[in-house]
Amino acid sequence: MNTKMRASYFQEFGELDNIKTGNLEKPEPSEGEVLVRVQSAGVNPVDAAVARGMLDEVIPTKFPAIPGWDMAGTVVKRGHAARRFEEGDEVYAYARRPLVQHGTFAEYVCIPESYLAHAPVELSIEEAGGIPLVGLTAYQSLFQFGHLEQEQTLLILGASGGVGTMAIQLAKAANTRVIGVAGSDNQEYMRELGADETIDYSNGNVGDAVQQLVPEGVDFIFHCSRGDSLAESINTLKSGGQLISITNSDPDRPDDVSFEYVFVEPNAKQLKHIQELADDGKIEVPISKTYALDQADQALRDIESLHTQGKTVVTP
């Protein structure tokens, strides 16, 4: 019986060159856990931050540490009392644990079955692996911490990235008006995903462009970018409107708006809802780049640039 698996891992924080690929011990499922053969692992900017040690004070790390919090794959073994899924089921999950050690950039991962949902059948397993972190981030921002309602106007800053593309689609599924903000290369891309109007931040002040489109102001700003777009557009938010950010825990803002900073949490029930939307044809996952395990360091460099389009995945 083979007790080893291939994985990408790091032994110390620092440069992404520290990430190596080799053989580590294959995990065994404990009580309430399942062993999943990982077929796709989404790559996110936070994965690079973890490898650099930028989250160590919040989420401790034990070396050797395997990065990656997204995954889709097949259940191959069940631990004691793990009965929600059968061996052979295709599943997906946001696999963040309280300790950074056993991530998803590996052939196998053990995960509590309570984290898992069945993967969408209308998407490929590769596409499913790109959903969990960005899908849950957008879902929780819009509907759990935020309260997006039908026929409201939503302004998404950074709408062409992984979180932004999911937010466009989730908001349109909820029958809202969506204005997406991104660079010149992504205007058509945002419209293809469902954005009603788009703004090119390189063409001038974003707030001026929003004012032309919505003179009465927007109901909700979802801030998932960096740069000046929020500062330029914050005054277009209606009094009593909602501001949600995933990149700034305390932005300058008027006193009369509701604000929440969101750091995504695992939630299988929400993943199930996203799966249902995907299988109804309301969610697609454009995969921009696919990397092998031994290219994980390059995948993290690319995602760290914050200028990728759609989703990047590692396929162990």
Domain boundaries, the chain: 4-131+285-314, 134-261
Q: What integer is the mean pLDDT of 70-94?
A: 97
pLDDT at 23: 97
pLDDT at 154: 98
pLDDT at 309: 75
Q: Does domain 134-261 have CATH number 3.40.50.720?
A: yes
**Residue 40 — very low, low, confident or very high, per pLDDT cuts 50/70/90?**
very high
- pLDDT score of 310 more than 80: no
Single pTM value for the model: 0.96
pLDDT tens per residue, range 174-207: 999 999 999 999 999 999 999 999 999 999 999 9
The CATH superfamily label for domain 4-131+285-314 reads: Medium-chain alcohol dehydrogenases, catalytic domain (3.90.180.10)
**Residue 1 — very low, low, confident or very high, per pLDDT cuts 50/70/90?**
low
> If you write DSSP's letter for every residue of the chain in order, what string do you get?
---EEEEEEBSSSS-GGG-EEEEEEPP---TTEEEEEEEEEEE-HHHHHHHTTTTTTTS-B-SSB----EEEEEEEEE-TT--SS-TT-EEEEE---SSBSS-SSBSEEEEEGGG-EEPPSSS-HHHHTTSHHHHHHHHIIIIISS---TT-EEEEETTTSHHHHHHHHHHHHTT-EEEEEE-GGGHHHHHHHT-SEEEEGGGS-HHHHHHHH-TT-EEEEEE---SSHHHHHGGGEEEEEEEEESS-SS----TTSEEEE------HHHHHHHHHHHHTT-----EEEEE-GGGHHHHHHHHHTT---SEEEE--
**Residue 276 — very low, low, confident or very high, per pLDDT cuts 50/70/90?**
very high
Span of 7-11, 134-138, 154-158, 161-165 with lowest mean pLDDT: 161-165
- pLDDT score of 306 more than 70: no
**Residue 227 — very low, low, confident or very high, per pLDDT cuts 50/70/90?**
confident
**Residue 307 — very low, low, confident or very high, per pLDDT cuts 50/70/90?**
low
The rounded mean pLDDT for the chain is: 96
Q: What integer is the mean pLDDT of 133-156?
A: 98
Q: What integer is the mean pLDDT of 272-293?
A: 96
